[in-house]
Structure 1
Amino acid sequence: MNPSCSRCNKVVYPTEKVNCLDKYWHKGCFSCEVCKMTLNMKNYKGFDKKPYCSQHYPKTSFTIVADTPENLRLKQQSKMQSQVQYKEEFEKNKGKGFCVVSDTPELQRVKKTQDQISNIKYHEDYEKGRMGGEGSNTEAYPNQSYQQQQPQTPSYNFDPPPARSAAAAPPLPSGGGKRYRAVYDYAAADEDEVSFADGDLILDVQQIDEGWMFGRVERTGQQGMLPANYVEAI
């Protein structure tokens, strides 16, 4: 059975048959899709299984490529290769001359990390110099012409007066008590106590219990109870 022509859909006999582009044509029907110029096996150009002349052959044009996962991966890989190549070129050219380096995201991250490390190092050196004294300050800040000295506050290591016994009562002075010297200042907390200053002489001292005495302050003439750990025997 004879096939049909792809152009006119009529029966193609063997004497006028052209077999091309996986189809059958009459010799007169084998023509350009645009200008209808009759073609032969030497001057035709096929596109999408259709014959065209060289003048009207479809021109290929660029198409928009969708961002498929594979294309995104290739794009990311190309970007990483570009950054690696940039770093290699930078290391090769480092020290050869002045060049302007653009702030890439990677360089910005490195710069930020270096700034943070510098700030931490500065504060550590400052704290060591401030707390370590003159030697540490000189080591941490060798360019300073003077050292800032922290004011020293004198400390007095003395125990608070012991709790008074409820049964203790000041005895009358007999005039034959011992002599003591105050080693700390003391302000009377009750009416039956006596105030004195460091260095005052305490006369006619009599022991009441382990923590309290009775005596007379020579400077003021007042007499009363006083803590035993604020005075020393002469």
Structure 2
Amino acid sequence: MNPQCSRCNKIVYPTEKVNCLDKYWHKGCFSCEVCKMTLNMKNYKGFDKKPYCSQHYPKTSFTIVADTPENLRLKHQSKMQSQVLYKEDFEKNKGKGFSVVSDTPELQRVRKTQDQISNIKYHEDFEKGRMGGEGTPTDAYPNPSFQQPPQSPSYNYDPQPVRSAAAPSPASGGPVRSAAAPPPSSGGKRYRAVYDYAAADEDEVSFTDGDLILDVQQIDEGWMFGRVERTGQQGMLPANYVEAI
């Protein structure tokens, strides 16, 4: 059975049939939708299953989508899906890069501890620099084998400290170092100073290299109590700054 022409709706016979754009046309009916120019299989351009010449071929352009309730719903749904994907990516990548850390009490404690450690390190470096800076032992003793005196050790020589009534509190408001009652002076040993030492607290004594230290009593591994023969002062002194006679 012969089909009908898509233009004139008449019967199309095989001798004049054109099969194009999923339709059947007479050769004379296969023309441009606008200017009616007769087309062939080489010069036609199809759009929406209709033939056009190259001059009147419809040009595509962007369309504005109306904000219908359905479009608004789809837009909101897409936005929610985007947020879900963002949250999933954030959870996966959390901890792999830089992030803002909340200032919790635990972090404040860790930061304070790090500051204290840095403070201690700074004072240690300062003491080393002072021993190696102005007035170094190498200036006073040109012997190249001379070694710098060791630093004063920290001590806690009295498990039950008794605060000295004569020692006032520092003006800075810092903690007052506890001092033990001086041991009896009888039966003490004699020591000779091998380094200069400047007292760092009120219950310590200063001395220079070569001074005799009398009535020495051992407090602990790091500190002693004795009297400097040259000055007559008595108090605490570091054990690694003197040697027994």
Compute the displacement of 1:85 (Å): 16
Instruction: For residues 24-51 of structure 1, give each alpha carbon's deviation from its aligned partner in whole angstroms, at most 9, with x where no partner exists.
Output: 1011110111111111111111112110
Deviation at 1:17, TM superposition (A): 0.2
Distance 2:109 2:237 in 1: 71
5+ residue gaps, structure 2 = 168-180
**Cα distance in 1 for residues equivalent to 2:152 and 2:79:** 64
Deviation of 1:21 (Å)? 1.1
SS in 1 for 2:125: helix
Cα separation, 2, equivalents of 1:4 and 1:224 = 127
User: Which stretches of structure 1, 4 residues or longer, exceed 3 Å deviation after superposition?
Assistant: 67-146, 148-171, 173-234
Partner of 2:64: 64
Structure 1 match to 2:230: 219
Q: In 2, Cα distance between the equivalents of 1:189 and 1:83?
A: 64
TM-superposition CA deviations, 1:188-216 (whole Å, max 9, x none): 99999999999999999999999999999
CA apart distance, 1:66: 2.5
- Secondary structure of residue in 1 paired with 2:197: coil
Give the number of the structure whose alpha-carbon radius of gyration is greater: 1
SS for the counterpart of 1:121 is helix
Aligned partners of 2:155 and 2:223 also within 8 Å:
no
Contact 1:194 1:224 in 2 (8 A): yes
- 1:73 and 1:133 mapped to 2: Cα distance? 77
- Kindly state the Cα deviation for residue 61 of structure 1 after the two structures are TM-superposed: 2.2
Query: Are the structure 2 counterparts of residues 21 and 140 from structure 1 closer, same or farther at C-alpha, using a change threshold of 3 Å?
Result: farther
Map 1:88-127 onto structure 2 (within 5 A): none
- Per the TM alignment, residue 5 of structure 1 is displaced from its structure 2 partner at its CA by 1.0
Deviates more, 1:105-114 or 1:162-171: 162-171
TM-score (norm 2): 0.30
Given that 2:131 and 2:148 are in contact with CA atoms closer than 8 Å, whether structure 1 keeps it comes out as no
CA-atom RMSD in angstroms = 17.5
Structure 2 CA distance for aligned equivalents of residues 129 and 46 of structure 1: 90
Query: Structure 1 stretches of 5 or more lacking a match?
Result: none
Which deviates more, 87-96 or 124-133?
A: 124-133
- CA-CA distance at 1:13 after TM superposition: 0.5
1:123-176 alpha-carbon deviations (Å, 9 max, x no partner): 999999999999999999999999x999999999999999999999999x9999
**Number of matched pairs:** 232
Please give the secondary structure, in 1, of the residue aligned with 2:63.
Answer: coil
Give 1:67 shift.
Answer: 3.2
